[in-house]
Structure formats: C-alpha cells, structure tokens
Amino acid sequence: MKKILVTGGCGYIGSHTIVDLIENGFEVISVDNNSRSSARILEGVEKITGKKVKNYKVDLCNFDDTFAIFQENEDISGIIHFAAFKAVGESVEQPLLYFENNMVSLINLLKCVQEFNVPNFVFSSSCTVYGNPDQIPVTENTPPKPAESPYGYTKQMGEQVINEFSKAHPTKCILLRYFNPVGAHPSTLIGELPLGKPANLVPAITQTAIGKIPVMNVFGTDYPTRDGSCVRDYIHVCDIASAHTKALELLLSGKSKKRCDVFNLGSGNGVTVLEAIQAFEKVSGVKLNYVLGPRRPGDVIAIYANNDHACQALDWSIKYSLDEMMLTAWKWEQKIQTDARFYQNKSAGLN
Ligand code: WQD
C-alpha cells in the first residue's frame, strides 16, 4: 500500500481528501498542528473509512520536528500539502504572519522532500492566482494577475517555488488551483469547521439559516453580471478530494507529461451569489434572511474555470451539483449545531 503524507489533514479539504485516498487503497498519515483545525475530524474519517489515521501534531515551520516525521516514515510515496493559513482578510491585516507561515512551512517540507527523495508532491493552490481575469472561463494558461491579498501572493509564490524546485530535483509535482470548495461529505460525519464569523459565502448562508448569524450581507449587487452579484465557480469538496487522488495516481503512474503540471479544479459553471442563495433556499426550504449591502473590497467580479485539462489528464469528472453542494452544507451545519460540544474547545474554538 502506497503511503501518502497529507499536511493539514485535519482541515476541511485535507480530511475529505484523506477519505478519498483511503477509499482508493492508499495508506495515509497526517501532519497538522491543529492551530486552526480539530483533530477530532479524524474520528469522522475513521467512522467513514474504518481506518484510524495517525496525525503528527507538528508545526511545519519547525524544521527539526518536520524532519523527524520523515525519519520515522522513510516510505512516503507522495505528499499532498494543504497546511497553510487561508483567510484573505486576515492576510491583509497580518501579512508577515501569512508570508512566514505559508512560505517557511512549504520550504521546510521541500527540504525534507529533497533529503528523503520523496518522488511526488501535490500542492494546494487557488484560483486567487488569476486575480480579476480579463476573460472567463480561465484556463491554466490564463496569465496570473497581481494577487488581491498576501494570502494570494503566498499561493503565487508557492507555485513558483515548487516549479523551480521541480526543475532541480527528480520529484514530480502537480499544482491544483481550487475555485470555491463548498459542501460536506454526504455522510455528514466530516465537513467545514470555520473559525469564528465565516468570511466565505456558504458557511455564512448556513449559519444565517440556522440562526447563528441574525442576517447575512450580500456584498454588492451593482456588478456588471447577470444579476449584479459576483460570479464564482462553486465545487463540491468531495469533487476536489477525488481530483487529489487522481493527481497522485497520475504521478505514481509515471505518465505525467510535465515535471510540474497545473490543473484548474472548478466545476466549470459560473454561479452568482444570488443564484447560490436561491439554490440553498430551494433545497433547504429555508427563507434566508439577507440584505443587499455594499461591495467587499478585493472581491473579484467574476471567475469560473475551464476544467478541460483536469478532466482529460486526470480522468476526473464532477459528480456533485450545486443543489447537492448546498444540501450537504446545510445537513452538516445542522449536525454541528446539535454536536456543538463535540467540536468546541477553549483555545481556537476547535479541538
Ligand atoms: C464568494 C462570493 C463574496 C460572504 C475566497 C478566497 C479563495 C478561496 C475561497 C482559499 C463573493 C460573496 C461572501 C458573505 C457575500 N479560499 N459573499 N456574503 O472570496 O470567492 O474566495 O475563498 O483558497 O482563495 O479568495 O469566496 O466565499 O468569501 O465569497 O456576499 O457573507 O460571496 O462577496 O462575491 P471568494 P467567498
């Protein structure tokens, strides 16, 4: 069984990817310092897969601690690197925190990849590298624009670091550019655990619907789009997860055509904020309490993916619809409200 190291394995996309990897025959270990995640999410992973996943509670910014993981696991066939801070707004307020955390952790990891000759490396990137694109849908050849935030710059710089690393070392790399991951595993045993007041649309919708937030803001309805609200490419987190397994399988097959290939992970459909709200109201039966507010600084007007390259080269396809994204997100919100004690703790609001 091939062993895969997943960094950020207790996080939203990391935990869903671990489920998919196990279901496809991989052995998985996780490294996650749980500063912004709950190690208990791996109990949900175990309930779904029947497999207990070991998590190394290590900060990747600590090189010695990171190195020790590789000394203990010299048979790692591949790494999927999720661990990073990802709150756009926070990155604007605390740029050095983001540059240090997201870049030092990546470089420490790559030093270990080099030292232990890890053959395959998959990087969690983001559509944020495209900025406000001139043309949509965007392909992987759409030129990157200046990022809208320090978070976005850490993804752009991360891609460059990995690209240059792959030219100098035999490790084969893949960069996966996520659009807007939403929803939860159909079992309702794992899902997103946003810290504090959610910045992202779908957790804001579900927390408003369940009454955790009294009213939700629609940030801007005067954009040059079909209904005035921003357009995004929402994609179910399980579709994102399956693409990671497919990316690793491509690398392990030796058939990857490039030393460092890039893939857009989007559904290929542009959906406005108001359309997303309407889809939620339809599947949940809940009338959402929202107000039409001013634009949010830094928001991209419209972006969605051309995902042909990922579908063809990864033999990947989208399985979940917008309705299923909203329904699974809603079921998960209802679940964590009833199990709030399970996910709460003193420090980061999670355990
Ligand atoms: C989507 C749309 C908001 C909340 C960010 C990161 C991106 C990725 C996903 C990590 C926008 C509107 C939102 C609300 C609203 N993260 N909105 N009311 O900004 O597209 O992408 O998260 O990789 O890198 O940039 O996602 O969900 O925050 O916003 O109207 O309460 O929903 O204005 O138009 P975004 P989002």
Kindly state if the Cβ of 163 falls inside 6 Å of ligand 1. Answer: no
CA distance 1 to 9: 19
- Measured by CA distance, the residue closest to atom 36 of ligand 1 is 200
Kindly state if the Cβ of 302 falls inside 6 Å of ligand 1. Answer: no
Beta strands in the chain, from DSSP E residues, in sequence order: 3-7, 27-31, 54-56, 76-81, 120-126, 172-178, 180-182, 216-219, 231-232, 234-236, 260-265, 271-272, 290-293
Per-residue pLDDT, 344: 58
Among 111, 179, 124, 122, smallest CA distance to 155 is for 124
CA distance 235 to 183: 8
- For residue 151, indicate whether it is catalytic: yes
Which is catalytic among the residues 12, 56, 98, 151?
151
158 token code pair:
């991360």
Per-residue pLDDT, 194: 81
Q: Which residues pair with 7 in a beta bridge?
A: 31, 81
Burial of 43 (0-12, 13-18, 19+ CB in 10 A): middle
Kindly state if the Cβ of 200 falls inside 6 Å of ligand 1. Answer: yes
What domains sit in the chain, N to C, each tagged with a CATH number? 3-186+235-266+307-319 (3.40.50.720)
3-class DSSP state of 97: helix
Kindly state if the Cβ of 219 falls inside 6 Å of ligand 1. Answer: yes
CA distance 173 to 111: 14
90 token code pair:
């926070």
Query: Ligand 1 centre from 313 Cα, in Å?
Result: 28
Which residues, given as ranges, of the chain have pLDDT below 70?
340-351
Element (H, E) at 218: strand 216-219
